[in-house]
Amino acid sequence: MKLDTKHLRYLTADDWRVLTAVELGSKTHLSVPTPLILKLSKLRSLSHVQKSLWSLSKAGLVSTVRGANYEGFRLTYGGLDHLALHAHSKGNVVYSVGNQIGTGKESDIVAVAPPPLSSISSSSTKAPSRPGTLIDPNINEPKETQYALKLHRLGRISFRSIRTNRDYLHKKSPQQSATWLHLSRLAALKEWTFLSVLHASGFPVPQPIAHNRHTLVMQLIEGFPLRQIASVPDPAGLYGELMELILRLAKWGLIHGDFNEFNILIEEDQVWGEEGRDVFGAEKGRSEVVESAQERSENMINEVEQEPYSPDTPTASTLPPHESEEAGPDTTPIAVTPTSAPIVAAAAAAAKATKATTIKLTPIIIDFPQMVSMSHPDAKSYFERDVNCVKRYFSRRFGFTSDEPGPFFEDALRTVGKDGAKRLDVEAEASGFSKKMAKELESYITQVGGDREAEKDQDAEEDEDGGGLEEGVGDE
């Protein structure tokens, strides 16, 4: 289902209390009885609860369970979406919701905007009480920006076979009664955990902003999925950079598990003049280049003011043609006098230094619910699958095949924790995503893995036959 926020502004305080009560009751009941909703919501009477339930049911935020022996309600994805957005709004993270910008097999991506600074009081900039909700203290800066809201929707694809294959769905433990909503929460928690530790360690991932229930708010990357790119100027360079990312993740104890063209965004960065050259290790940004050019201009002007005029000073006729034309065709010609000639030359040098020289393609990794540790029992198969996905795609789309074999799992395993690299898998587990949660989510990923790989192979065959590019964002 798509995110529908038209009912968000019309819900009353009683509606929010009842919706929250249904969510709490879902932890122990597949269908939450009305008396339990009354008890959890702490409303005055049953009639108030029934009125709110009728409104919520009409909006599609709760639904009744057919065949139940009692009157009960369950939470829908729409209700969970409203609860998460309400929490983000109260936490001054999300102010408005835009268009849907991407659809994955088990997630939706929506553009959202933070609140303006004028609408935030000084007391509301504190992080909400929910753990791991806000990590960027400067998200309320007065800047025009957008964020990406990711909503996990586990169970939307291939759910028919999974319900018969997954054993733990048939267990009657309280933790499994919520099924898909519960798994979506686990997937969001795992992605938030790994996204936070990866960003803090300097990996090319979106900046995490906030997390609540089955949603994540993160930096909106101005790029395109690798799947949508028809050609690149240097396939060998991009291929080598992606292999370096796989090895770098392994060195820090992690394997992506789904490292393919769907989960790699390509961002275009402008590389400035020689002083601002930024090829795989930037030394100066554009602002620093401009400052250095301005400093040279000021130094040359000071020298002109201090030194007396001499006949050797360049005039308009002695200036090189390319320096006298640096102002551009749309500007008014400047009369160059003997005293102003160095100033014009300095301005020309500043303009030349700030010109963009080339475009750099930067890969950004997304989608982390399936990420595993290098110590996982099936780590070798996950590692080799990531490597083969990149090799197969570059051979099919760009016609590039590397002459060098590998990289190999055995070589990557020897580098784990070396040269001061931290074990991010251990750090992620210590941050709240327990082994029990990982095992529960991994059972789901194992069951849907075959179906997802089959669908991706089918999409690849369609690309080869039709040669077209999709318009949607990849499988984030």
Report how far apart, in Å, the C-alpha atoms of 88 and of each of 98, 129, 222, 272, 350 are. Answer: 15, 12, 23, 38, 45
- The CA distance from 393 to 390, in Å, is 5
User: Known catalytic residue: 81?
Assistant: no
Residue 339 DSSP label: T
Residues 6+ apart with CB under 8 A from 322: none
Sign of the torsion formed by the C-alpha atoms of 380, 385, 388 and 390: negative
- The CA distance from 296 to 215, in Å, is 50
Sign of the torsion formed by the C-alpha atoms of 198, 201, 205 and 206: positive
Query: Angle at which helices 34-41 and 46-59 pack, to 10 degrees?
Result: 110
CB 91 within 8 A of CB 134: yes
CB 195 within 8 A of CB 187: no
- Catalytic site residue from 81, 258, 278, 425: 258
Element at 386 (helix H, strand E): helix 379-393
Helix (H, G, I), strand (E, B) or coil at 24: helix
Q: Which residues carry out catalysis?
A: 258
